[in-house]
Amino acid sequence: DTGVSQDPRHKITKRGQNVTFRCDPISEHNRLYWYRQTLGQGPEFLTYFQNEAQLEKSRLLSDRFSAERPKGSFSTLEIQRTEQGDSAMYLCASSAEGGYQETQYFGPGTRLLVL
């Protein structure tokens, strides 16, 4: 069990550029989650997948954000036309199927800085 991995760990970009992050969940987990954490706050839910189906999206996920999990394995989170307010830590988590009380295991996160 290698845990949840995320790539890149850090990303610096200029305002207006597009960025894409990748998350690889724990291999046998079919649920995958994206959260965002800003300074001084706890993680905030963005969206989650069961296999390849995106089941819930937060209103925080504006039209500039899109998440995919095409084959039910890894997932990508793309932010188009980045803004300075997008600067945050983007966290991915995964859990096994078994209901909402299955533990969510988090990856190390991708820290995004928009200049």
Partner 1 sequence: DQQVKQNSPSLSVQEGRISILNCDYTNSMFDYFLWYKKYPAEGPTFLISISSIKDKNEDGRFTVFLNKSAKHLSLHIVPSQPGDSAVYFCAASAGTDKLIFGTGTRLQVFP
Does 41 help bind partner 1 (rule: CB under 8 A)?
yes
Q: Name which of residues 4 to 33 contact partner 1 (CB under 8 A).
A: 4, 31, 33
Is-contact 30 72, C-beta < 8 A? yes
Stretch that binds partner 1, among 13-21, 41-49, 66-74, 80-88 (CB under 8 A): 41-49
Partnered with residue 57 across adjacent β-strands are 47
- Cβ of residue 33: shortest distance to partner 1, in angstroms? 7
Which letter, b or e, does each residue of 64-84 get, where b requires 16 or more Cβ atoms within 10 Å of its Cβ?
Answer: ebbbebeeeebbebebeebee
The maximal CA–CA distance of the chain, rounded, in angstroms, is 41
List interacting residues with partner 1 (CB under 8 A). 4, 31, 33, 35, 40-45, 48, 55-56, 58, 91, 93, 95, 100-101, 103-109
